[in-house]
Amino acid sequence: MSYLYTVVAFASIYAMLAIGLNLQMGLTGIVNFGYVAFVAIGAYTSAILTVGHGWPLVPAWIAAIALACAVSYPLGLLTIRLGGDYLAVVTLGFSELVALFILNERWLTRGAIGIVGIRKPFAAFGPAASTELSLLLIIALTALTTLLAWRIAKSPLGRLLRAIQANEAAVQALGKNTVSYKVLIFVIGSGIAGLAGALYAHWIQYISPEQFSPDVTFNTFIALILGGAGSLLGPIVGAAVLMLFLQGSVVLPDYVHFLNADQMAALRFMIIGLVLVLLITFRPNGIMGRLPERAARKDEVTP
């Protein structure tokens, strides 16, 4: 049962990550390959403050969000003007920088050893109840994040961000400071990643640098592409499907005897690759995304 809880908790945390990334990439067109850096900042901030300095959970989580936002703000100001591919490279570089910092600044992060004994929320209720309540809390906060993203997407701000994605120069020509809006959404997405990182740390109760590899970023991208970037429920559906794949291939070897664990691990990446290729071919906007419209072809005679 507790394994199932963990799968659901991870799916929910990935859904939260995908929602934050969706605000950046799906809505605004900001390609952030360093997304994991803000997850790591959130996780380590909350772990260090609660374990090292005895902070209660809620202020520690707020600090995790605040620090992720505070770090992303100057980074966004410096880099957001870069076009898509360049921004992708710079953000990927930034996430490596954060990874190296965490690995080497042992006085703060305990380096490769990691931080153990991170408190679970609701610990006072006993181990079983605290797990269930923590799971509910994670789901509730994911729902709240969905609501936040929905409000942004449906507001005039969301309309403006979609316009920026479609044509930034044209938005500037209408008198809007596009850079400040892109930085804003970069910071909001990073804050969501920071919260997801903190929730992850307190669920799993032990964090170390290798948990925050670029795989986290790419899994989030996979979830978003699976579910459909730009759609509201896409990130949630995508995260659920991704978790089914990643965790299903852990359980499956018990039942499928002709494959060993290594073959299974290899197979799951082949399957994810195949699914992505099929999806991009047949449903380029994701499972929940809009079907591509048939544009009127020039050679077709309209009645």
Partner 1 sequence: MSAGSLLTAESIEKSYVGSRVLKGVSIELQPGRITALIGPNGAGKTTLFDVITGFVRADAGRIVYQGREITSLAAYRRARLGIVKTFQIPHEFGELTVEENILVAAAGQVGERFPSALWAMGAIRRQEAANRERAGELMEFLGLHANRAMRSEMLPAGDKKLLELARALMADPTLLMLDEPLAGVPAGVGSRIMEHLTQLRDRGMTLLVVEHNLEAVMRIADWVYVLVDGELLAAGSPAQVQADERVQRAYLGA
Q: Which of 113, 116, 166, 277 binds partner 1 (CB under 8 A)?
A: 166
Residue 167 contacts partner 1 per CB under 8 A: yes
In the set 1, 58, 124, 169, which binds partner 1 (CB under 8 A)? 169
Binding to partner 1 (CB under 8 A): which residues in 261-300? 293, 295-296
Residue 201: phi, psi to the nearest 5? Answer: -60, -40
Cα-atom radius of gyration of the chain, to the nearest Å?
Answer: 20
Scanning residues 64 to 93, which ones bind partner 1 (CB under 8 A)? none
Residue 76 structure tokens: 């966004």
> According to the binding rule CB under 8 A, does residue 170 interact with partner 1?
yes
Shortest approach of partner 1 to residue 78 CB, angstroms? 17
**Main-chain dihedrals φ then ψ at residue 115, nearest 5 degrees:** -110, 125
Kindly state the smallest distance separating residue 164's Cβ from partner 1, in Å. 9
**Residue 251 interacts with partner 1 (CB under 8 A): yes or no:** no
- Smallest gap from Cβ 76 to partner 1, in A, equals 14
Among 11, 36, 99, 188, binds partner 1 (CB under 8 A): 188
Residues between 125 and 164 with contacts to partner 1, criterion CB under 8 A: 148, 151-152, 155-160, 162-163
Residue pair 6/132 in contact by the 8 Å Cβ criterion: no
Q: Which is nearer to partner 1, 23 or 223 (CB)?
A: 23
Compute CA distances 176 → 28, 30, 59, 114, whole Å.
14, 17, 35, 45
- Residue of the chain from 176, 205, 252, 275 that contacts partner 1 (CB under 8 A): 176
- Residues 39, 15, 75, CA angle at the centre, nearest 5°? 35
CA-closest candidate to residue 276, choices 217, 222, 219, 238 = 222
Q: Which is nearest to 21 in space by CA: 288, 238, 169?
A: 238
Contact yes or no for 230/108 (Cβ under 8 A): no
How big is the site for partner 1, counted in residues (CB under 8 A)? 30
Judged by the rule CB under 8 A, the positions of this chain that interact with partner 1 are 148, 151-152, 155-160, 162-163, 165-167, 169-178, 181, 184, 188, 293, 295-296
